[in-house]
C-alpha cells in the first residue's frame, strides 16, 4: 500500500512550515497544492524541500485538493489542512482502513492545540457529531482510496462544505473508519474570533447547509 498526502495551501506558509517540521512524512508521496499568489512566500521552502511535489492550482480548497489528487500515485490519498498535524502513527490508521473492504473513507480524532477548556468542549462536540452522524470535517484529515476518489469525481467544486459533500457521497456506499489517534489542528481561528463566536459560525453554516442553502450562497460575504 502506498500513500499520497495532499496539502492545499493559500496564504498559509507559516502553518505549512510548522506542519512539515512536526510530521514525519517519510515513505509517503507528499504533494503541496498552492496558488500562484503563494509562489514568493513558498520559494525558500520549495528550495529546501525538493523531495516534495510542489504544484500550483486555481484558488479554492476543493480545486487545489483535486489538482493534488490528479498528480498523486498512492493507493490511498490523505487530505491534510496546512494547519493540521497528523499523529505519529498516521500510517497505521490508513493501513487499518485499507484492510477492511467495507471502509470507503477514514478520518482521525479531532483535537485543538489549546489548553483552553473551550477547546475540550469543542473536541467533545466533534466526537459526538462523528459518532452520531458519521460526519467528520476536513480538519480531521480525511483519507480515501485513490481509485474510489477518481470514480466519485473527486471533490465537488464548492467554495465551502466540499468536505461534508465528499463524506456524504462516500458513506452512501460504505463505512467510515475513525482512528482513535488525534490530528492536531491549530486553534488560531477560535482564538482570533472568540471561542463562542467561531463555534456559532460553524454551527450556523452546517445547519443552513442541511436546510438546503447552497454552499455558494453560504460563502458569499
Domain locations in the chain as residue ranges: 3-186
Q: Which fold has domain 3-186?
A: Spore Coat Polysaccharide Biosynthesis Protein SpsA; Chain A (3.90.550)
DSSP secondary structure, the chain, as one string: --EEEEEE-SS-HHHHHHHHHHS--TTSEEEEEE-GGGHHHHHHHHHH-TTSEEEE--SSHHHHHHHHHHH---SEEEE--TTEE--TTHHHHHHHHHT-TTEEEEEEEEEES---HHHHHHHHHHHHHHHHH----GGG--EEEHHHHHHTTSS-S-SS-HHHHHHHHHHTSSEEEEEEEEEEEP-HHHHHH-HHHHHHHHHHHHHHHHTT--HHHHT--
pLDDT in tens, the chain (221 residues): 899 999 999 999 999 999 999 999 999 999 999 999 999 999 999 999 999 999 999 999 999 999 999 999 999 999 999 999 999 999 999 999 999 999 999 999 999 999 999 999 999 999 999 999 999 999 999 999 999 999 999 999 999 999 999 999 999 999 999 999 999 999 999 999 999 999 999 999 999 999 999 999 999 87
Amino acid at each position: 500500500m502506498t500513500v499520497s498526502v495532499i496539502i492545499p495551501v493559500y496564504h498559509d506558509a507559516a502553518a505549512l512550515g510548522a506542519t512539515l517540521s512536526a510530521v514525519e512524512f517519510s515513505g509517503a508521496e507528499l504533494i503541496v497544492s498552492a496558488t500562484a499568489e503563494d509562489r514568493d512566500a513558498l520559494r525558500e521552502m520549495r528550495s529546501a524541500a525538493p523531495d516534495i511535489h510542489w504544484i500550483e492550482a486555481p484558488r479554492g480548497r476543493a480545486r487545489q485538493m483535486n489538482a493534488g489528487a490528479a498528480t498523486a500515485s498512492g493507493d490511498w490519498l490523505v487530505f491534510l489542512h496546512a494547519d493540521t498535524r497528523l499523529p505519529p502513527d498516521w500510517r497505521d490508521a490508513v493501513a487499518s482502513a485499507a484492510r477492511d473492504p467495507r471502509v470507503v473513507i477514514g478520518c482521525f480524532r479531532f483535537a485543538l492545540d489549546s489548553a483552553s477548556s473551550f477547546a475540550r468542549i469543542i473536541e467533545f462536540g466533534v466526537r459526538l457529531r462523528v459518532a452520531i452522524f458519521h460526519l467528520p470535517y476536513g480538519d480531521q484529515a480525511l483519507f480515501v482510496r485513490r481509485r474510489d476518489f477518481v470514480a466519485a469525481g473527486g471533490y465537488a467544486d464548492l467554495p465551502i462544505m466540499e468536505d461534508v459533500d465528499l463524506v456524504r457521497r462516500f458513506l452512501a456506499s460504505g463505512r467510515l473508519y475513525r482512528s482513535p489517534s488525534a490530528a492536531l489542528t491549530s486553534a488560531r481561528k477560535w482564538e482570533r474570533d472568540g471561542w463562542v463566536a467561531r463555534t456559532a459560525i460553524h454551527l450556523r453554516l452546517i445547519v443552513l447547509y442541511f436546510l438546503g442553502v447552497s454552499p455558494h450562497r453560504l460563502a458569499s460575504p
